[in-house]
Structure 1
């Protein structure tokens, strides 16, 4: 059995059981996660045993390694469907995504996943690379011995002597040894030890071989998956394979398969001499390792992330400082003395280099969050006339209901419906500056219709307000400042804003067509605390290479991002990252193709004192922290007109942002300011 792992991670979904053996690499280097997928009739021990350990080889280079034991092997229940391979692809994707987000050190650094598969595991790797090309941060895929043949007969013997047995036992006859291992003189005899063979190889699932041999799966794998993989591919075969006896016989088959990789930016292909189908057990395994190592090191140095949009397929992230995923932080580590320094280090990386991060194990009780979500959705479900009773245009404080398409970002209407609330505060006096109108009382829905709404919303806001207050101290500590360093920038009481958002499914949109849920922008607050209320994808962040990356919902987490107030206060040390919501049709379907309904998300924006001005900012940020900021700022798609918006004070800049976003409110209450802001903004988009 496999022994090189730190943690065994079980996973079950859609009736399929599997587990992963996770081996941690060098946490400081944060290299791509290596995912290993074994073939038919083998276990995860194929890649890790006393004779061969691909796990140790990659781990010695510093990589985290996830060695997956597939359904039906190593004691897990065998799949019962006729299409176990097609059924497993989405499950593998979910599992890999979970492990990457929760375990891999790469999520905090340059990011990325590299798939390595053998035989049917190669077919799985290539299929995942095709199906999850816009979901996982895939850098490349290496496949050995995946050689589908059109109109092939079943790989099972004919006749099947045990038709009622769901498994097929490969006898260790000289003929089969040559078929699977190659010529005897090539074989590492240590690998033929009976005890080792018993731990590595198991009877093959007939259902897998039947599906793999079918014309339907061949068409899917070769004509769709092979043709659609759009990341670098390493495609390898052995001199002696199940599909051929020697290189001369196999070359036409191999070259034809290589020609099917039409979308990959680069394909490295080779038939490896001196070995059979299970080349890892050849004396010449060093040839295979050298190729895999070079392929992985090349991808790592390029840091070539999988494109998120088909519009980005030509972009390669060659800069190692460019983030390719959003890190996941554990709030429990911040509250424990033994792990607090680790948390602060990860937080520093997130706020300086990324600007976005997930936070799990938050201080918000599950029931509070559940009640809040239910009441928020109930508000959207009210008849339009009830919602219009609290329409935002009636409030000079920009609080209340905004109809579908009424908010504007980057000169385009956002396809969303929303309600804005805030910490309950009185309206300012008539002699106070105009920007103080950003503070004021809420418009609450009819308590006869939603009697629990206000109390539920205020309870949730109270929990987030306390979390936000704690985080201002944590951010200070992460920057090697006193924990109270940011206190001077907050009012007592401080007004935080809550935005409840509903994104209906766009009508008549086409597959892969972008619809603006909310356009590219940066939040104007200190920190944003976002709850993604439904499982839809759609939220995307833009890295410094201009590539849009997904921020998929992770159950039990909040998404936190840096606002421009924090960026301004820290002189650009903390980075406010451009983000958007993209409403592609596929974002409204689950893995089975069923409709998910509307997308809901709920954001609380942590405010700062509206009177903060540039001359009042005197943080003494240590030089070693300032040195973490890179000079190569890439132009974003957001409204650069207001990059200097806080040169006056934060209140004035924030008011301008609200005026341009909610132009109906501005037309009623601030018409002159609206005209000035729109004129300035036009230059950015012409």
Structure 2
């Protein structure tokens, strides 16, 4: 482990309840962490099979890729654009197994690819249950469950070339949802997260780990206790870079802080909202780095 220049805190999924208070502290101070020892839920083999499926999907003709349409605002295929010319991505919004089947059908996925995508989606959902449950437990919230919360995959490809080294792969942003699990590229770096001082910390490739980070919904839901982390992707080397991000979006009903996190010393900070309305707010205002949350603050 020591060989990795890792400034980002590490959470061991097999070491609970011992790490409960560390998990809360890390989510308050950093808003992100490396997760290790989760392979009983998501195996290295399944992660590597998923990476192969992802690479083959990006090799499909453009007209097939474009069939990956929006299920909610901005959730479908993104072609390289003027703003992000090095970047292309698929989106998969999951509220049930039918959504995974529909995505596979849109892209003519083979039965093996379908099986991998289905297993991966199930494993990631199980990790969402584990991590969010442990976090809620650490915050002292008694009845917490993510039943019925949809999640979304954003499957990314960066075409980094020699002439693009030093440029931006994806601009500074926060994630809009509750919790993100990222299977990063195991050999090509570029991801950077912002620490509390405002400095960017590189997230170096580290195989057999996942990066977990909190999004804007977690900040509102926790009544401001948990930190949403700003991050970006920089082009560090001429290479193709692939990553698979899964976003736990939030409850279908309104996002609001549980009673345990609201008292006289900590009055309710945010007006209730749905994650879909919040997504639309971020898209319409173009406030992509957490600033849109300020528009939902309850005026004293």
TM-score, length-normalised on structure 1?
A: 0.38
* Residues in 1 aligned to 2:73 and 2:138: alpha-carbon distance in whole angstroms: 34
| SS at structure 2 position matched to 1:565 | helix
- What is the aligned counterpart of 1:472 among 123, 129, 132? 132
Asked whether 1:352 is paired with 2:34, we answer no
Contact kept? 2:77, 2:89, Cα under 8 Å? yes
* Residues in 2 aligned to 1:414 and 1:520: alpha-carbon distance in whole angstroms: 15
| SS at structure 1 position matched to 2:181 | strand
Contact kept? 2:11, 2:34, Cα under 8 Å? yes
* Residues in 1 aligned to 2:85 and 2:220: alpha-carbon distance in whole angstroms: 26
Give 1:217-296 correspondences, 5 Å limit. Answer: none
Give 1:302-341 correspondences, 5 Å limit. Answer: 325-334=7-16, 340-341=17-18
* Residues in 2 aligned to 1:405 and 1:461: alpha-carbon distance in whole angstroms: 28
Asked whether 1:385 is paired with 2:63, we answer yes
* Residues in 1 aligned to 2:13 and 2:149: alpha-carbon distance in whole angstroms: 23
Contact kept? 2:100, 2:117, Cα under 8 Å? no
Give 1:576-587 correspondences, 5 Å limit. Answer: 576-584=228-236, 587=237
- What is the aligned counterpart of 2:178 among 526, 547, 553? 526
Match of 1:538 in 2: 190
* Residues in 2 aligned to 1:620 and 1:448: alpha-carbon distance in whole angstroms: 47
Unaligned runs of 5+ in 2: 292-300
* Residues in 2 aligned to 1:649 and 1:476: alpha-carbon distance in whole angstroms: 20
- What is the aligned counterpart of 1:551 among 194, 203, 225? 203
| SS at structure 2 position matched to 1:413 | coil
Contact kept? 1:414, 1:516, Cα under 8 Å? no
Unaligned runs of 5+ in 1: 1-97, 102-135, 138-324, 335-339, 407-411, 428-438, 589-596, 627-642, 661-673
Return the offset for 1:424: 4.8
* Residues in 2 aligned to 1:469 and 1:536: alpha-carbon distance in whole angstroms: 29
Q: Which has the higher contact order (CA 8 A, sep 6+)?
A: 2
Deviations 1:29-51 (A, max 9, x none): xxxxxxxxxxxxxxxxxxxxxxx
Contact kept? 2:168, 2:234, Cα under 8 Å? yes
Give 1:276-675 correspondences, 5 Å limit. Answer: 325-334=7-16, 340-341=17-18, 343-362=19-38, 363-388=41-66, 390-392=67-69, 398-405=74-81, 412-413=83-84, 415-425=86-96, 442-445=102-105, 450-482=110-142, 484=143, 486-487=144-145, 490=146, 492-506=147-161, 508-509=163-164, 513=166, 515-584=167-236, 587-588=237-238, 597-614=239-256, 617-621=257-261, 648-657=273-282, 660=283, 674=284
Return the offset for 1:535: 1.2
| SS at structure 1 position matched to 2:104 | coil
| SS at structure 2 position matched to 1:333 | coil
Closer, same or farther in 2 for the Cα pair 1:618/1:328, shift >3 Å?
closer
Deviations 1:509-542 (A, max 9, x none): 35xx3x2211111111111000013311111011
Closer, same or farther in 2 for the Cα pair 1:405/1:524, shift >3 Å?
same
Return the offset for 1:461: 0.9
Deviations 1:56-99 (A, max 9, x none): xxxxxxxxxxxxxxxxxxxxxxxxxxxxxxxxxxxxxxxxxx31
Return the offset for 1:651: 2.6
* Residues in 2 aligned to 1:610 and 1:440: alpha-carbon distance in whole angstroms: 19
* Residues in 1 aligned to 2:240 and 2:132: alpha-carbon distance in whole angstroms: 33
Closer, same or farther in 2 for the Cα pair 1:533/1:550, shift >3 Å?
same
* Residues in 2 aligned to 1:449 and 1:526: alpha-carbon distance in whole angstroms: 29
Closer, same or farther in 2 for the Cα pair 1:331/1:495, shift >3 Å?
same
* Residues in 1 aligned to 2:97 and 2:138: alpha-carbon distance in whole angstroms: 35
* Residues in 2 aligned to 1:519 and 1:414: alpha-carbon distance in whole angstroms: 12
Return the offset for 1:494: 2.5
Return the offset for 1:496: 0.9
Return the offset for 1:655: 2.7
| SS at structure 2 position matched to 1:401 | coil
* Residues in 1 aligned to 2:73 and 2:97: alpha-carbon distance in whole angstroms: 11
* Residues in 2 aligned to 1:401 and 1:377: alpha-carbon distance in whole angstroms: 15
**The structure with more helix, counted as a fraction of residues:** 1
* Residues in 2 aligned to 1:426 and 1:374: alpha-carbon distance in whole angstroms: 21
* Residues in 1 aligned to 2:102 and 2:140: alpha-carbon distance in whole angstroms: 38
Closer, same or farther in 2 for the Cα pair 1:396/1:609, shift >3 Å?
closer
Count of residue pairs brought into register by the alignment? 284
| SS at structure 2 position matched to 1:329 | strand
| SS at structure 2 position matched to 1:369 | helix
Return the offset for 1:367: 2.0
| SS at structure 1 position matched to 2:207 | coil
Task: Name which one, 1 or 2, has greater alpha-carbon Rg.
Answer: 1
* Residues in 2 aligned to 1:449 and 1:610: alpha-carbon distance in whole angstroms: 29
